[in-house]
């Protein structure tokens, strides 16, 4: 079902009810207060106020205008941004929750803020998606991957995949673009009949048993299958070495974003854009122009003039990708660990991250930082990494050697740094 034109503007856009409009205005006020008081970016609090005032706000604001909902453990924000860029390049007005506010409250904010006639590309939290799917009724769902993340908050991956599957069993007509390399995503998306994208990703630590029958999954060179007959479906699209093949079409990917994980994000985005009716070449050009997404890969200069860059890694799958990428560079590396609610309180996942990949770096080029720097220090010591200690990631960056410095941070450490750098005027 590749290449179906999107039903753009097929449904009339109803005006929001007075109650919803009021709710959005009240939410906007709360958001302004939040920003003005310096508590937060204002997006989530605004949405919460709006939701409290109008429970049906999502359904009303969303009616008929959700082009696409993007969800999964990793890559949501970037994939959303890339799809929005591709749609915008085709000349359509687009609204999006570009800052990554992806809970129900963030969705209300995004939909309430922008042009009410514009189509929306929304990033949706993976645990929230099944609860809001009916209200959003998105034209397309893009399902990136499911891996262990915030176990203390989200529960175990298999349970989350089960809720996704139940959602799609209830929505058999839902159009889906899904990652063909992820057994949980495949199992969840099968009821809908998806466009399968071979993203080339290989994280399999969280998928060792068959989601359908519970027996051991058989893995061979990226292929998986199980005794019950559940297996990886044939790919409709494949990305490899800077090129995406979709059916009989092929397009070169020259990305402004680093790493294999961003190639996977771009592949998902291009297939989604194609499903939404954007030409592949147009979409690829738009995607190539994106160099930073909501602070990910944000670049600035340290006081001593060396270039620095901010990378986000939230869970073992994400950290593995970022560390594998950094292993091939010569930059100084700052690793910053927080364990707040949004990071996951339990840092036991540190022991599943291959920090050993940093062990061969020259002395003095790695620094540990963040609120849980001691836990990180212990892990790095066991990984044989020579490191400096600093609580403050920016001080750590100045101390780390290397001609350039990459700071890899967990979510709240990342957001905190972004905020500081913006306040100091080093980032826009």
Partner 1 sequence: VTADSTIAIGLIYPELMGTYGDRGNATVLERRLAWRHLPARVVVVPAGAPIPGSIDCYVLGGAEDVPQTLAAEGLIASLPAIERALEGGAVLLANCAGFQLLGSSYVRPDGASVPGLGLIDATTVAGARRCIGEVAVETGRPGFPELSGFENHAGITRLGPGVRPLGRVTVGTGNGDGRDGPARAGVGPEPGARRPAAHLGGRRPPAARPGGRRRPPGGGAPGGAPGRRRRRGAGPPAPPPGPARLSGAAPCGNGGRSSGVADTVLRYIEQRRASRYRAGSGPALTLGGAMAEETSFGEELKETRLGHGGGSRNHGLPLGEATPELRRQWKGELEKSGKYNPGASLKELIAKRDGQEQAEAAEDSD
Nearer CB in complex with partner 1: 175/372: 372
Nearer CB in complex with partner 1: 290/394: 394
108 binds partner 1 (CB under 8 A): no
In the numeric block, which tokens belong to residue 160?
């989350």
Quote the distance between the C-alpha of residue 338 and its chain's center. Answer: 19
List the x/- string, 383-402, binding to partner 1 by CB under 8 A: ------xxxx--x-------
Query: DSSP readout, 11-69?
Result: S--PPPPHHHHHHHHHHHHHHHHHHHTTSS-SHHHHHHHHHHH-TTHHHHHHTTTEEEE
151 binds partner 1 (CB under 8 A): yes
Choose, by CB under 8 A, the member of 20, 74, 96, 102 that binds partner 1. Answer: 102
**Measured between alpha carbons, how far apart are the two ends of the chain, in Å?**
41
Nearer CB in complex with partner 1: 90/386: 386
Residue 415 C-beta: closest distance to partner 1, Å: 6
Indicate if the alpha-carbon torsion angle 93, 179, 144, 129 is positive or negative. Answer: positive
Q: Could you give the C-alpha distances from 41 to 21, 46, 47, 293, in angstroms and in order?
A: 21, 10, 12, 16
158 binds partner 1 (CB under 8 A): yes
Q: Where in 327-346 is the site for partner 1 (CB under 8 A)?
A: 340-342, 345-346
Residue 190 C-beta: closest distance to partner 1, Å: 18
Nearest to 109 by CA among 96, 92, 125, 91: 96
Nearer CB in complex with partner 1: 159/330: 159
Distance CA 287, CA 84 (A): 9
347 binds partner 1 (CB under 8 A): yes
- List CB contacts of 270: < 8 A, sequence separation 6 or more: 82, 86, 237, 244, 246, 251, 253, 280, 283, 284, 287
Residue 355 C-beta: closest distance to partner 1, Å: 11
Choose, by CB under 8 A, the member of 257, 415, 417, 418 that binds partner 1. Answer: 415
Residue 342 C-beta: closest distance to partner 1, Å: 5
13 binds partner 1 (CB under 8 A): no
Q: Where in 214-273 is the site for partner 1 (CB under 8 A)?
A: 214-216
Distance CA 325, CA 376 (A): 20
Q: Which range binds partner 1 by CB under 8 A, 19-27, 192-200, 202-210, 268-276?
A: 202-210
Question: Coil, helix or strand for 402?
Answer: coil
- List CB contacts of 155: < 8 A, sequence separation 6 or more: none
- Cβ pair 81, 293 in contact under 8 A: yes
The four Cα atoms 254, 258, 259, 262 give a dihedral, to 10 degrees, of -70
Nearer CB in complex with partner 1: 292/392: 392
Nearer CB in complex with partner 1: 194/377: 377
Binding residue count for partner 1, defined by CB under 8 A = 54
* Interface residues toward partner 1, by CB under 8 A: 39-40, 43-45, 100-103, 106, 125, 148, 151-152, 155-159, 205, 208-209, 214-216, 340-342, 345-352, 371-375, 377-379, 381-382, 389-392, 395, 411-412, 415
């Amino acid at each position: 079902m590749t290449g179906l034109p999107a039903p753009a503007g097929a449904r009339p856009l109803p005006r929001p009810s007075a109650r919803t409009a009021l709710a959005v205005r009240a939410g906007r006020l709360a958001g302004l207060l939040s920003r003005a008081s310096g508590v937060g970016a204002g997006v989530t609090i605004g949405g919460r106020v709006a939701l409290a005032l109008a429970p049906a706000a999502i359904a009303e604001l969303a009616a008929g205008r959700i082009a696409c909902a993007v969800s999964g453990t990793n890559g949501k924000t970037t994939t959303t941004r890339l799809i929005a860029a591709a749609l915008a390049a085709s000349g359509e007005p687009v609204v999006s929750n570009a800052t990554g506010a992806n809970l129900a409250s963030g969705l209300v904010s995004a939909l309430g803020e922008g042009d009410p006639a514009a189509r929306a590309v929304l990033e949706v939290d993976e645990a929230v998606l099944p609860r809001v799917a009916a209200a959003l009724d998105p034209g397309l769902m893009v399902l990136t991957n499911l891996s262990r993340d915030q176990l203390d908050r989200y529960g175990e991956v298999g349970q989350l995949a089960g809720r996704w599957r139940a959602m799609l069993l209830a929505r058999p007509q839902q159009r889906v673009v899904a990652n063909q390399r992820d057994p949980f995503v495949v199992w969840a998306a099968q009821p809908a009949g998806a466009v399968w994208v071979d993203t080339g990703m290989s994280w399999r630590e969280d998928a060792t048993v068959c989601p359908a029958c519970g027996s051991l999954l058989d893995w061979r060179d990226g292929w998986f299958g199980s005794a019950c007959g559940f297996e990886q479906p044939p790919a409709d699209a494949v990305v490899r070495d800077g090129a995406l093949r979709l059916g009989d079409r092929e397009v070169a990917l020259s990305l402004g974003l680093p790493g294999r994980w961003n190639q996977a994000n771009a592949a998902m985005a291009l297939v989604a854009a194609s499903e939404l009716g954007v030409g592949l070449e147009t979409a690829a050009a738009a995607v190539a122009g994106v160099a930073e997404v909501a602070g990910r890969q944000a670049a600035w200069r340290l006081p001593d003039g060396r270039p620095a860059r901010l990378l986000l890694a939230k869970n073992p799958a994400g950290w593995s990708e970022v560390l594998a990428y950094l292993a091939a560079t010569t930059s100084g590396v700052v690793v910053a660990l927080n364990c707040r609610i949004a990071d996951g309180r339990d840092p036991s996942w540190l022991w599943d991250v291959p920090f050993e990949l940093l062990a061969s770096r020259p002395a003095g080029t790695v620094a540990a930082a963040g609120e849980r720097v001691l836990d990180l220090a212990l892990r790095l010591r066991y990984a044989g990494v020579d490191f400096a200690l600093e609580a403050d990631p920016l001080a750590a960056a100045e101390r780390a050697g290397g001609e350039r410095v990459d700071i890899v941070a967990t979510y709240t450490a990342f957001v905190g740094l972004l905020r500081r750098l913006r306040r100091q005027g080093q980032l826009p």
